């Protein structure tokens, strides 16, 4: 099979539905062999029911890919555990003999205002999003480092999934926003540390209609007369496929927003107005200085939900 991802082996976590499913199908359409990871849990991470007679969500996506002439295999391990993350990489290597691209996408929501947010709901969301990015990345990186030391420097790619909530915050999603902001920090560190092993690491902050966002985007459908559904998950996947391919050489440590037909490079934290008096401020002087600097600074974007 030919295509942008021909001969590459790609693992996509949380690929049974929504964005992950769209990514897996898009990679397969471009020639990749895909490891489709999904636990089949509910929207809040509680155990879900398997589709009668047809396996879980991962199996259904694998069947779609195979029916279209592609190659795929299912993985049902919990990637927020050491064994589950390690077995994801092993599955790729044992099945296809190589591993080229990791797309970290798995996640769920437990939305509450901060004063009502239980510790268990905080831990569960941070675990699946942030730890669920770290552990597959760690085990993938260990494989690519070993390949480099053996004289086989890979052309490896990692695409992490953040969110507008991680960039700006989102009311009622303190746990999710914190985890998604952490993913951006992890992306920057991984890009710096893993470049020597031939690994490029980037992140996307997608906006699309999925189980997690269907209420927020319920009224956003195809633009009149165009047939183009701006909130379809499939709109985000082309950028993810490109970032996960050899064609994205030289692009690392970057964060992109993707929604409909729009792609934006996010520029992150940069020094703004500053002053240095050369000696210590008193608290009152520090306050006066801070207010003067803020008067010259670019206002922050609005938190979602305000």
In a domain, 286, yes or no: no
In a domain, 305, yes or no: no
Q: Is 138 a catalytic residue?
A: no
Helix residue spans in 53-194 (DSSP H): 57-67, 82-96, 119-126, 132-149, 164-168, 174-194
How many domains does one find in the chain? 1
Q: What number of other Cβ atoms are within 10 A of residue 119's Cβ? A: 8
In a domain, 38, yes or no: yes
Q: Which residues contact 209 (CB under 8 A, 6 or more apart)?
A: 217, 218, 220, 229, 231, 232, 233
- Give the domain CATH number at 167: 3.40.50.720
Q: Is 162 a catalytic residue?
A: no
In a domain, 283, yes or no: no
d(C-alpha 259, C-alpha 283), whole Å: 44
Exactly one of 162, 180, 237, 245 is catalytic; which is it? Answer: 180
pLDDT tens for each residue of 175-202: 999 999 999 999 999 999 999 999 999 9
Q: Which residue segment(s) compose the domain that 117 sits in?
A: 9-266
| Residue 32 burial class via C-beta count within 10 angstroms: exposed 0-12, middle 13-18, buried 19 and up | buried
In a domain, 1, yes or no: no
Confidence of residue 53 (pLDDT cuts 50, 70, 90): very low
Sign of CA dihedral 97, 155, 15, 239: negative
pTM: 0.90
In a domain, 69, yes or no: yes
In a domain, 300, yes or no: no
CB-based contact 160:20 (threshold 8 Å): no
pLDDT tens for each residue of 233-291: 999 999 999 999 999 999 999 999 999 999 999 998 899 999 999 999 999 999 999 99
Beta bridge partners of 158: 102, 201
pLDDT for position 50: 44
In a domain, 63, yes or no: yes
End-to-end CA distance of the chain: 48
Q: Which residues contact 3 (CB under 8 A, 6 or more apart)?
A: 29, 30, 31, 32
**11 φ, ψ (degrees, to nearest 5):** -110, 130
Exactly one of 163, 177, 237, 245 is catalytic; which is it? Answer: 163
Mean pLDDT for 124-145 is 98
Q: What is the mean pLDDT of the chain?
A: 91
């Amino acid at each position: 099979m030919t295509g942008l991802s021909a001969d590459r082996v790609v693992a996509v976590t949380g690929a049974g539905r929504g964005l992950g499913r769209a990514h897996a199908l898009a990679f397969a359409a471009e020639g990749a062999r895909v490891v489709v990871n999904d636990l089949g849990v509910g929207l809040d991470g509680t155990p879900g029911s398997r589709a009668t007679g047809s396996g879980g969500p991962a199996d259904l996506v694998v069947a779609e890919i195979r029916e279209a002439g592609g190659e795929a295999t299912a993985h049902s391990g919990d990637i927020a555990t050491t064994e589950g993350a390690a077995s994801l990489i092993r599955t790729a290597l044992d099945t296809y003999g190589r591993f080229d691209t990791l797309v970290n996408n798995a996640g769920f929501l437990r939305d509450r205002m901060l004063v009502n947010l239980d510790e268990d709901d905080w831990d569960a969301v941070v675990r699946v999003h942030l730890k669920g990015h770290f552990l597959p990345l760690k085990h993938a990186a260990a494989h690519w480092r070993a390949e480099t030391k053996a004289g086989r420097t890979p052309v490896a790619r990692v695409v992490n999934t953040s969110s507008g909530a991680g960039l700006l915050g989102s009311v009622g999603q303190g746990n999710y926003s914190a985890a998604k902001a952490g993913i951006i920090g992890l992306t920057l560190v991984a890009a710096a540390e893993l470049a020597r092993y031939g690994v490029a690491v980037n992140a996307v902050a997608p906006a699309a209609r999925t189980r997690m966002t269907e209420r927020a985007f319920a009224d956003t459908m195809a633009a009149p007369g165009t047939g183009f559904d701006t909130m379809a998950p499939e709109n985000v996947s082309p950028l993810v496929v490109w970032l996960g391919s050899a064609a994205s050489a030289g692009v690392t440590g970057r964060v992109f927003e993707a929604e409909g037909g729009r792609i934006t490079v996010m520029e992150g934290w940069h020094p703004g107005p500053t002053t240095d008096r050369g000696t210590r401020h008193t608290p009152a002087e520090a306050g006066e200085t801070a207010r003067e600097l803020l008067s010259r600074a670019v206002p922050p974007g609005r938190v979602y939900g305000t």
